[in-house]
C-alpha cells in the first residue's frame, strides 16, 4: 500500500465547472498536507497547504482535510483550461520526509 493514494484520472470537467480532486493517506501520524500542480515537463509547484481539519480557501482553490478519515481534497472553482495539469497530493509528518501520490490528471475542456 502506498503512503498517499490518488485516482490517476484523467478527470475531465468543462470550463467554469468545479473540479474535485481526492487523496487518501495511510500514516495517521502525518500532520501536514499539500497540493502541488505539475504541468507536463515542468516541476511541481505548491498550490495549497493544510494542517488542520476543515476547509482552507485561497482564491479559486479550497483544500479540505479530514484526519479521522485520512482524507484530503482539493476543489477548484470556475475551472479554466490553464488549470489542466497533474495535481499531486503530498503528506509529511515533520517536514523531514514527504510522501507524494502518483497524481491526478485534470483536463478542463473549453
Partner 1 sequence: DTGVSQDPRHKITKRGQNVTFRCDPISEHNRLYWYRQTLGQGPEFLTYFQNEAQLEKSRLLSDRFSAERPKGSFSTLEIQRTEQGDSAMYLCASSSSGTAQETQYFGPGTRLLVL
Q: What are 42's strand-pairing partners?
A: none
Pattern 1-40, partner 1, x by CB under 8 A: ---x-x-x-----------------------x-x------
**Of 21, 62, 101, 106, the one binding partner 1 by CB under 8 A:** 101
Q: Is 76 exposed, middle or buried (0-12, 13-18, 19+ CB in 10 A)?
A: buried
Q: Tell me the closest approach of the beta carbon of residue 19 to partner 1, in angstroms.
A: 18
Q: Tell me the closest approach of the beta carbon of residue 66 to partner 1, in angstroms.
A: 20
Does position 66 bind partner 1 by CB under 8 A? no
The C-alpha atoms of residue 63 and residue 57 are separated, in whole angstroms, by 6
Give the contacts of 23 (CB within 8 A, at least 6 positions apart): 4, 5, 6, 33, 71, 72, 73, 74, 89, 101
Task: State the number of binding residues for partner 1 (CB under 8 A).
Answer: 22
70-99 binders of partner 1 (CB under 8 A): 88, 90, 95-99
Nearest residue (CB) to partner 1, 20 versus 31: 31
Longest dimension (CA), the chain: 41
Amino acid at each position: 500500500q502506498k503512503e498517499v493514494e490518488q485516482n490517476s484520472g484523467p478527470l475531465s470537467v468543462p470550463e467554469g465547472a468545479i473540479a474535485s480532486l481526492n487523496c487518501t493517506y495511510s500514516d495517521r501520524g502525518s500532520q501536514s498536507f499539500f497540493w502541488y500542480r505539475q504541468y507536463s515537463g515542468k516541476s511541481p509547484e505548491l498550490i495549497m497547504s493544510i494542517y488542520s481539519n476543515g476547509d482552507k480557501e485561497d482564491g479559486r482553490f479550497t483544500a479540505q482535510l479530514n484526519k479521522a478519515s485520512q482524507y484530503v481534497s482539493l476543489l477548484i472553482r470556475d475551472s479554466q483550461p490553464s488549470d489542466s495539469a497533474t495535481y499531486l497530493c503530498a503528506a509529511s509528518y515533520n517536514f523531514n520526509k514527504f510522501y507524494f501520490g502518483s497524481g491526478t490528471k485534470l483536463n478542463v475542456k473549453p
